[in-house]
Amino acid sequence: MPVFNANLLVWTVSAIATGCVIWRPWRVPEYVWAVGAALILTVFGLIPVHIALKAIVEGSDVYLFLIGMMVLAEQARQEGLFDWLARYAVRHAKGSGQRLFDLVFLVGILVTIFLSNDATAVVLTPAVYAACKAAKAEPLPYLFICAFIANAASFALPISNPANLVVFGSQMPPLSEWLSHFTLPSLAAIGLTYWVLRLAQRKQLQQPLSVTLEMQHLSPGARLCAFGIVMTGAVLLVASALNLQLGLPTFCAGAATTGLIHLRQRRSPLPVLRHVAWSVIPLVAGLFVLVEAVAQTGLIETMAHALASVARHSTTGASLAAGMITAIASNLMNNLPAGLIAGSLGKVVELPGQTTAALLIGVDLGPNLSITGSLATLLWLVAIRREGEHVSALRFLSLGALVMPPALAGSLLMLTV
């Protein structure tokens, strides 16, 4: 088969699969499209089998990280930890919608930073909805917090977003270097997201809340789960400081916390494991294969050399361009494949640390523009639909167009100063 035709087929299959992952035609699960496309590319020889297997194996750290975080998040949900936190926020809002907004935003920051943005979307969202209904508040202004803070705070630490592991892979910088690059951009992203979102929702936040909400006691299992989450965060911070991969420590921490809780309560962990979103793992594996197939065509190499050429003339210019382009690409193809492509650029050529950091900011923060931009936002959409709420793509875009651009611009500017 001529090289050009083979490359065109790879690009076509990958583009169609990515679009189907985002839009889910006929409600077929996302992982089916990603895995199906990977199998098509392999069976028809468009990517060698050993290269496809190598791409899958290279994602092992990401799989372990996701499994550990999902188990921890589901354990916290079943023990009622996040419900308790949400009710605590409602109680201390003292009838003020604006104060409740601030408290939910703060909880969202902490959950995202220390438990990942997917946990904020999957676990905190239904808890906030339940708390809002108990307080007789319109849920959407507070539910939007869960969607936007999940991406805005997702590069504060390496553990805050699985996409961080995808972009850096085995080249994850030490924690001290990470903080030097991302602390100020994270503060800018979080701060600007807060002010724009609160300003956009100010009318709804003026509605008074019910103050009759009763606090429930935090169960022993929830306390133990909270302790496990804190310890997990500590372990991951130490691992990051030692420049170790984060997947295995996260997996071990999640397994140990769940095992300890269920051993103490003398019950099976199967209900927790049954509700973990295992389909995320084959989805990520399939996307790894698709991106590797695209890389084999030489497209990523061409992009990498073009970016490196710009960086040689102006690191700041290359960083700003990289951040904006990956932000746009994340909304067109979802940030997971965009992150995989961004991570592949650094394997082809050596990019300045600032430019690589800008790529990550675009991948993490850019998806706040559209409802299909990130996996976390898609999970958030599923969560609110289960509660009977509906947000159209146009409504999310109208709000995202206000929230994302200033946050992205502020983050990139703080990175390049």
State the average pLDDT over residues 378-393: 83
pLDDT exceeds 90 at position 320: yes
pLDDT exceeds 90 at position 153: yes
The confidence band for 39, taking pLDDT boundaries of 50, 70 and 90, is very high
Residue 95 CA from chain centroid, whole number: 32
Quote the pLDDT of residue 211.
Answer: 64
Q: What is the largest CA-CA distance in the chain?
A: 72
State the average pLDDT over residues 161-176: 82
Q: How does pLDDT run across 200-215, given as a tens digit for each residue?
A: 998 888 888 776 666 6
pLDDT exceeds 80 at position 258: yes
16 vs 414, more confident:
414
188 vs 62, more confident:
188
Quote the pLDDT of residue 212.
Answer: 63
Q: How far apart are CA 202 and CA 190, in angstroms?
A: 18
- The torsion angles phi and psi of 139, rounded to 5 degrees, stand at -70, -35
Residue 315 is encoded by which pair of tokens?
Answer: 């690191």
Q: How does pLDDT run across 265-297, given as a tens digit for each residue?
A: 777 888 888 888 788 889 888 888 988 888 888
Contacts of 14 (CB under 8 A, 6+ apart): 37, 41, 290, 291, 293, 294
Q: How does pLDDT run across 327-377, given as a tens digit for each residue?
A: 998 887 778 788 888 888 888 888 898 999 999 999 999 999 988 788 788
Q: How does pLDDT run across 222-250, given as a tens digit for each residue?
A: 888 888 888 887 887 788 777 778 889 88
State the average pLDDT over residues 402-414: 96
Residue 169 is encoded by which pair of tokens?
Answer: 């892979």
The domain limits of the chain are 3-416
Quote the pLDDT of residue 234.
Answer: 83
**Mean pLDDT of all residues in the chain?**
86
Q: How many CB atoms lie within 10 A of CB 126?
A: 19
* CB 266 within 8 Å of CB 51: no
pLDDT exceeds 80 at position 6: no
Q: How does pLDDT run across 85-138, given as a tens digit for each residue?
A: 777 777 788 888 898 899 899 989 998 998 788 888 877 888 888 788 878 888
pLDDT exceeds 90 at position 300: no
* CB 91 within 8 Å of CB 215: yes
Residue 149 is encoded by which pair of tokens?
Answer: 């803070």
**pTM attached to this predicted model:** 0.84
Candidate from 261-265, 360-364, 399-403 with smallest mean pLDDT: 261-265
